Amino acid sequence: MINIAIDGPAGAGKSTIAKAAAANLGFVYVDTGALYRAIGLYIIGCGIGTKDAAKIETALSGINIKLKFVDGEQRVILNDVDVSLKIRTPEVSMAASDVSAIPCVRAFLFDLQRSIASENNCIMDGRDIGTVVLPNADIKIFLTALPEERARRRYDEFILKGVETTFDEVMKDISQRDYNDANRPIAPLKPAENAIIIDTTGNDLEQSVNIIINTIRERI
């Protein structure tokens, strides 16, 4: 199987770009951030603090997460309920950032992510795919952009989806997630040693997707 790892900070466009590239190449697209979002959604629903590691570890026994691929599109199933839309809110985004720093949560999802990669030609995106989850991935890409541009993209996405927020709130969220991701003690966000670093600042979506596709094709 061919495995491609795409890592990078919040709002870098990883999900949108990786999804489009996977469709073009005929690969399965795996958004690992959605798995952490599903856990964050569940923890919020239980009324548990998103940094309360002890209670979260206990709560994990009540969580069953599956990924289904419908016409090449990933759907997230949490305890037999499709939560693909519910996990895309600012509140769940921050909850995902918190729970992803907890070792037992990362261990809980580790086998699921590797199992998918072992069974499919896939493009998997996240924060630690090239460094931890798939250290032997055939191609590793670290996708980034300036914080202000990432915040603008995320803000436009929220407005399009009808989510009430402001650019300043989104910028604050991006900055906080950058700090959390880079400074967590377990699997901090950083480029893998042999990763190809691609900065998409100033690019539109089509340009970024083409860069990723060409980069992959050159190396397969």
- For 1-12, the pLDDT digits (tens) are 999 999 999 889
For a pLDDT cut of 90, what percent of the chain falls above it? 70
Give the number of other Cβ atoms within 10 Å of residue 30's Cβ. 28
- Whole-angstrom distance, CA of residue 220 vs CA of residue 138: 8
**pLDDT digit string (tens) for 121-162?**
999 998 889 999 999 999 999 999 999 999 999 999 889 988
Look at residue 31 in the predicted model and tell me its pLDDT: 87
Burial class (CB in 10 A: 0-12, 13-18, 19+), 142: buried
Does the predicted model carry a pTM greater than 0.85? no
Among candidates 156, 157, 150, which has minimal Cα distance to 173? 150
Fold type of domain 3-219: Rossmann fold (3.40.50)
Look at residue 187 in the predicted model and tell me its pLDDT: 82
41 near 29, Cβ under 8 Å? no
Provide the token pair at 103. 């070792």
Look at residue 111 in the predicted model and tell me its pLDDT: 86
DSSP string, 50-104: TT-HHHHHHHGGG--EEEEEETTEEEEEETTEE-TTTT-SHHHHHHHHHHTTSHH
Summary mean pLDDT of the chain: 92
Whether 71 has a pLDDT exceeding 80, the answer reads no
Distances (CA, A) of 56 to 35, 36, 40, 59, 163: 15, 12, 10, 5, 27
Look at residue 72 in the predicted model and tell me its pLDDT: 65
Instruction: Give the residue with greater pLDDT, 74 vs 147.
Output: 147
Look at residue 119 in the predicted model and tell me its pLDDT: 87
Provide the token pair at 150. 């990432």
Whether 202 has a pLDDT exceeding 70, the answer reads yes
For a pLDDT cut of 70, what percent of the chain falls above it? 100
